Structure 1
Amino acid sequence: MAQKALIVGKVEFRSGDGPNVAIRPGPVDLNRGINDVTLSWTDEDTHGSAAIPLADFKRYVAEGLIKLDA
């Protein structure tokens, strides 16, 4: 089951070998894996998802850029 969270700051992911891409502020669902966390979201008719390394996810949470729902 996915955990709910809120993006409140600059959170980015890398799409393949390309540049970093910002995830828009707002609600996301989190699915934790062993080495990464997948964030998914919906913007009107658009669905997005991104996998970020676990270390980056923990840093974003520690810095207050991702707020986890209790």
Structure 2
Amino acid sequence: MSKTARITGQVEYREGDGPGLPIRPGLVEYEESDEDVTVSWEDGDYRGSAAMPRSEWQRFLSSRDIELLD
């Protein structure tokens, strides 16, 4: 079941071994598993989705770059 969060700071994800790509500030939906967190968002007509390790997710929460709403 998806939950809602707000990106409030600089949050990035990686596609494979590529460079960090930003997730724009605003509302996102997320789903947690034992190993990672999948974040999805909309930006105009674009819909994005990224899985990040739980350690990265926790780092963004600790730095308050992500605010949980649910």
TM range (shorter): over 0.9
TM-score of the superposed pair, with normalisation by structure 1 = 0.95
1:22 corresponds in structure 2 to 22
SS of the equivalent of 1:56 reads helix
SS of the equivalent of 2:56 reads helix
TM-score of the superposed pair, with normalisation by structure 2 = 0.95
- Gaps of at least 5 residues in structure 2 are none
Aligned partners of 1:36 and 1:19: how far apart in 2? 19
2:64 corresponds in structure 1 to 64
Aligned partners of 2:30 and 2:2: how far apart in 1? 5
Question: Stretches of 4+ moved more than 3 A in 1?
Answer: none
Give the counterpart letter for 1:62 in structure 2: S
Aligned partners of 2:64 and 2:12: how far apart in 1? 14
Alignment root-mean-square deviation, CA:
0.8
**Equivalenced residues, count:** 70
- Gaps of at least 5 residues in structure 1 are none
